Amino acid sequence: MDKLQAEIDAISSQIEALQQEREQLSIGAASPDGSSPQAIAEAYRRHARETAQVSAEVKGIDDAIAALSAQLHQKQQQSQNWQKLSPAEHAVEEGRARAREHADRINELAAELAGEVKELKAIADRISPSYWQVYYKPFITGFKSISVPYVRSDGDVWTIVNRVV
């Protein structure tokens, strides 16, 4: 709960900072230097060049504020839902969050391990015929059933399966 509130506070402060920055950026009106048609045209061209960058920056700030506002709304909804939970439900939700972090890490490691096993198998396949000729035995065995763990969830139940490499 404290982590969620800290995230809400961080998002809110970032939105405020962006809003202050946006207020400081302003686009003034073009002011022609002279009354000749060339001077007026040049003044408006210069104004357009100068304001293009500011306009793009304002647009970027507005987009960031919109994205952060949506994220803030989501976090506030989570906070409200969190406050409605019983102590047992709190413990379960915290445990699920920690378990999700570990499951994600296991899946990352499994993908990395699968790649390493495939590379080892490619090397073994390449040198095995020569290895037999030199040492009269296999270089490496057991590749027919190598598997790595993978954690998946249907939303309610988590399952650890072995994926064959």
What are 53-102's pLDDT values in tens digits? 888 888 889 999 999 999 999 988 888 877 777 888 878 888 888 999 99
Q: Which DSSP letter does residue 157 get?
A: -
Same domain? For 14 and 71 the reply is yes
Same domain? For 8 and 78 the reply is yes
Count the Cβ atoms, other than its own, within 10 Å of residue 51: 16
- pLDDT-based confidence at 127, cuts 50/70/90? very high
Same domain? For 127 and 157 the reply is yes
Residue whose tokens read 């598997």: 147
Specify the pLDDT at position 30.
Answer: 66
Same domain? For 124 and 153 the reply is yes
Specify the pLDDT at position 34.
Answer: 66
Gyration radius (Cα) of the chain, Å = 30
Same domain? For 11 and 71 the reply is yes
Question: Mean pLDDT over all residues of the chain?
Answer: 85
Same domain? For 143 and 115 the reply is yes
Helix axis angle, 37-83 to 2-24, nearest 10°: 170
Residue 95 is assigned to a structural domain of this protein = no
Same domain? For 1 and 75 the reply is yes
- pLDDT-based confidence at 104, cuts 50/70/90? very high
- Per the CB < 8 A criterion, the answer to whether 91 and 38 are in contact is no
Same domain? For 142 and 63 the reply is no
Same domain? For 78 and 110 the reply is no
> pTM of the full predicted structure?
0.50
Residue 35 is assigned to a structural domain of this protein = yes
Give the lowest-confidence range in 83-92, 111-120, 131-140.
Answer: 83-92
Residue 96 is assigned to a structural domain of this protein = no
Same domain? For 70 and 30 the reply is yes
Q: Quick: pLDDT tens for 10-37.
A: 999 999 999 998 888 766 666 666 678 8
Residue 92 is assigned to a structural domain of this protein = no
Which range marks the domain in which residue 66 is found?
Answer: 1-84
Residue 32 is assigned to a structural domain of this protein = yes
Same domain? For 21 and 71 the reply is yes
Angle at 78 between CA 18 and CA 7, to 5 degrees: 40
End residue of a domain, out of 52, 84, 116 = 84
Residue 113 is assigned to a structural domain of this protein = yes
Count the Cβ atoms, other than its own, within 10 Å of residue 136: 7
End residue of a domain, out of 84, 112, 146 = 84
Number of domains in the chain: 2
What backbone phi and psi angles, to 5 degrees, belong to 158?
-100, 140
